[in-house]
Structure 1
Amino acid sequence: MKILFVHQNFPGQFPHLAPALQARGHEVTALTAEKNNRPSPVRVVKYREPQEITLSSRLTRMYAQVSERGLRAARAARQMRRDHGYVPDVIFGHPGWGETLYLREIWPEARLLVYGELMYRTTGLDTDFDPEFARDGFDSRISTVARSAHLIQTIAQADAALCPTQFQADTFQPEFRSKITVCHDGVDTDRLCPDPYAVFEIPEKGVSFRPGDEVITFVNRSLEPYRGYHSFMRALPDVLAARPQAHVLIVGEEGQSYGAAPTDGISWKERYLNEVRDRLDLARVHFLGRIPYDRYIKMLQVSRVHAYLTYPFVLSWSLMESMSVGCHVIGSDTAPVREMIRHGETGHLVDFFDIKGWSARLTEALSSSERFIPQRVAARRAMVERYDLKRYCLPRLVEFVETAGQGPDRALPAS
């Protein structure tokens, strides 16, 4: 088949799937944004990115922006068909930025598959989760509907959809569930594995860590409330006071990825660091920024306890990667995390907002590490048995594209 992947930051969620399909003899191409310079495992065509759109209302700006990006992608698609005769059998796109909105009009004969990352809701998910950041009810509901409109439009016209977790699939309206197959992107458990000889160094500070050291790890793409940075930082003073040998390794950039930016010009990182600065031994708190993947793995391999928090939102790859490495994971007791962690068996859960609870659980994990070896072993086993990239997830993803891409009579049953 001719298979076209569509993602503004390709390969995005498809770094393994696209080359796997190509290796099976399919002709695989990717349509991506012109400023995306990430290495691609397949042939790439680029579309011109839209200019920033200025509207009188910030509340509805999202839909206008994704619609414009969809138009740019459609124009590139039209040129692919008109000038080069390119007609895919299957389009597999991430609809989050609007790129798949109008592709049906260019290639009506193609099967359209979409990656269903999340359906926004005005209540019950991230929008109204954290009272510390409660917004005007009207504004919040309007902006959330504007964020979800193009996703509803896309899945309505799609032939099939893929969601990485059951929690994420369940955010979609009931009338769309029959289109959805649940299968995670996969975890490379061969690479993400325990290493008793791992060493993680911070040369500029002259410190290094090995398995067995009192190390707390915390990973976000960006240090922001959506991923519980504020709760984590508020828990640290009591932990470091109780454990004078403990160190904290924090990975994440200064800006924001999902939630709103601070309104006072101070980054979320600095705001919540400043809140507890006077009660922390900052020589033991290491902000690492963004680090290479190999270093990131070594950091997880020396971790005694890994903290992961999130709003009811898209699950981070870092949670499953830390479990694959065999970390003792303490996660927020929120729906996406409960799907991965069985409390007391593969990790532990703490209420997202329970600062005292987080301090107590992290302190316990540091002081009694031998007690939690069974949880670490069970966490890795769960990743190997259910989420391994090569042995389970990737074969099922290939099957999804090859079957759903050939018509409704060949589609996988929704799960």
Structure 2
Amino acid sequence: MKILFVHQNFPGQFLHLAPALAARGHEVLALTDEKNQRPSPVNVVRYKAPPETKMPPMLGRTYCEHTDRGWLAARGCRALRDKHNFRPDLIFGHSGWGETLFLREIFPDAKLLVYAELLYRTRGQDVGFDPEVGSDSDEARAGTVARSAHLIQGLVQADAGLSPTEYQASSFPPELRQKLTVIHDGIDTEKVRPNPQAEFLLPDGRKLHAGQEILTYVSRSLEPYRGFHRFMRALPGVMRARPDAQVVLVGGDGVSYGAKPKDAESWKAKMLAELDGQLDLSRIHFMGRVPYPQYLSLLQVSRVHCYLTYPFVLSWSMTEAMAAGCYIVGSDTEPVRELLRDGETGRLVPFFDQPALEAALIKGLAGDPERERITQAARKVIVDGYDLKTGTLPRLIDWVESFAP
């Protein structure tokens, strides 16, 4: 087949699938935003990035942004068709930014698949979950409905969709859920594995080693959606109880989800101000965003890894932490419960129960006698059900190829 991937940040979720399909003899091409400079495993063409313009106010803003991007992606596809005579048999695009919305008009005979990551909902997910940060007002819920329009439209137009977890697929209503297949992106468990000899270099030149009391936290951005504020508030008690513990946080200072705090330049700045005088900052290390090998080494030296999240998209970092043999203290929220079982593959605590979080982190750092059993069971979950090479990638290939004309 001729296969066209569409993703503004390509390769994104298609990092392994696109080259695997190319290796099987398919002609694979990817369309992405002109500003995207990420290395690609397949040939890439770029569409013109949307201009910085003043968006309409209120509820139409998100839809306007994503339909504009969708039209620019469609124009890029039109150029592929008219100037380069490229006509794909199959298109597989991420629906999150509207890029697939008009592709049927350019390639009406192609099968259209979408990566349906999550549908925003007004109840039972992130909206109103954390009253400290977000609102459950009529306005907030109306905004959520409006932000879902392009996602619904994208899946309605598609022949089929793919979601990485059952929880994320369940965010879509039954009439759309029936179009979805659940296959995780997959974890390379040969690369992501325990390493008793692992080391992690701190900015000041000190080396941390597996076996030390190291508490880790990883998120694309340090923000409430991933429980950053709850984690930070647990640190004074944890660090008093474990005076030798080192705390390492990976994540940027911006926001990936939600909004910036109104009274600080970042959530990191806000939490450090709130906890001023309560933390031994010589033992807390904010690494920002780090290269993948460094991130993997951090998971491998971790004694306790904390993963907290609203009811939302599950982070790759949690599945990779399980594969790396981490002892995970996680939030007892639905996306986490799909993989992590309390007392079996990790420790679950209610998202808002600060004493329970502190106690679980302290117990893990002190040396939970069940640690080895729990971490081995966590890795087995990933090896058996989410391994890239033996499980998810062959299933993804079969799924895509099932749509061959």
Is 2:404 the partner of 1:406? Answer: yes
Q: 1:159 is matched with which residue? A: 159
CA shift, 1:261, in A, is 1.8
Q: Which letter maps to 2:74?
A: A
Q: 2:377 is matched with which residue? A: 378
> Would you say the 8 A contact 2:201–2:208 is kept in 1?
yes
TM-superposition CA deviations, 1:165-202 (whole Å, max 9, x none): 00000000100122111000000110111111111121
Query: Larger deviation: 50-59 or 154-163?
Result: 50-59
Structure 1 residue ranges (4+ consecutive) displaced by more than 4 angstroms after TM superposition: none
What's the secondary structure of 1:38's corresponding residue?
coil
CA shift, 1:60, in A, is 2.5
Q: 1:89 is matched with which residue? A: 89
Q: Which runs of structure 2 are paired with 1:102-141 in the superposition (5 Å)?
A: 102-135=102-135, 137-141=137-141
Query: Larger deviation: 128-137 or 339-348?
Result: 128-137
Q: Which letter maps to 1:406?
A: A
Q: Which runs of structure 2 are paired with 1:274-293 in the superposition (5 Å)?
A: 274-293=273-292
Query: Larger deviation: 130-139 or 229-238?
Result: 130-139
TM-superposition CA deviations, 1:295-319 (whole Å, max 9, x none): 1111111100100001000000000
> Would you say the 8 A contact 1:52–1:65 is kept in 2?
no
CA shift, 1:368, in A, is 2.1
Q: Which letter maps to 1:36?
A: N
Q: Which letter maps to 1:293?
A: Y
Q: Which runs of 5+ in 2 are unaligned?
A: none
Is 2:59 the partner of 1:45? Answer: no
The TM-score normalised by the length of structure 1 is 0.96
Q: Which letter maps to 1:270?
A: A
Q: 2:355 is matched with which residue? A: 356
Q: Which letter maps to 2:353?
A: D
Q: Which runs of 5+ in 1 are unaligned?
A: 408-415
Q: 1:210 is matched with which residue? A: 209
What's the secondary structure of 2:313's corresponding residue?
coil
CA shift, 1:56, in A, is 4.3
Q: Which runs of structure 2 are paired with 1:72-87 in the superposition (5 Å)?
A: 72-87=72-87
TM-superposition CA deviations, 1:80-117 (whole Å, max 9, x none): 11112211000000010110000011111000000010
Q: Which letter maps to 1:83?
A: K
Q: Which letter maps to 1:330?
A: V
Q: Which runs of structure 2 are paired with 1:275-354 in the superposition (5 Å)?
A: 275-354=274-353
Q: 2:28 is matched with which residue? A: 28
What's the secondary structure of 1:291's corresponding residue?
coil
Q: Which letter maps to 1:195?
A: N
CA shift, 1:136, in A, is 6.2
Of all paired residues, the percent bearing the same amino acid is: 57
Say what the alpha-carbon RMSD is for the aligned residues.
1.1
> Would you say the 8 A contact 1:53–1:64 is kept in 2?
no
Counterparts of 2:370 and 2:332, CA distance in 1 = 21
What's the secondary structure of 1:32's corresponding residue?
strand
Q: Which letter maps to 1:61?
A: R
What's the secondary structure of 1:52's corresponding residue?
coil
What's the secondary structure of 1:132's corresponding residue?
coil
Q: 1:412 is matched with which residue? A: none
> Would you say the 8 A contact 2:264–2:270 is kept in 1?
no
Query: Larger deviation: 113-122 or 266-275?
Result: 266-275
Q: Which letter maps to 2:28?
A: V
> Would you say the 8 A contact 2:127–2:135 is kept in 1?
no
The TM-score normalised by the length of structure 2 is 0.98
TM-superposition CA deviations, 1:22-57 (whole Å, max 9, x none): 000000000100111111111111110111342342
Q: Which letter maps to 1:318?
A: S
Counterparts of 2:226 and 2:350, CA distance in 1 = 13
TM-superposition CA deviations, 1:235-286 (whole Å, max 9, x none): 1100000000001010000000011122234201110122113111111111
Q: Which letter maps to 1:269?
A: K
Counterparts of 1:352 and 1:333, CA distance in 2 = 6
Is 2:159 the partner of 1:145? Answer: no
Counterparts of 1:178 and 1:406, CA distance in 2 = 20
What's the secondary structure of 2:132's corresponding residue?
helix
Task: Report the CA distance shift for 1:56/1:78 in structure 2 as closer, same or farther (over 3 A).
Answer: closer
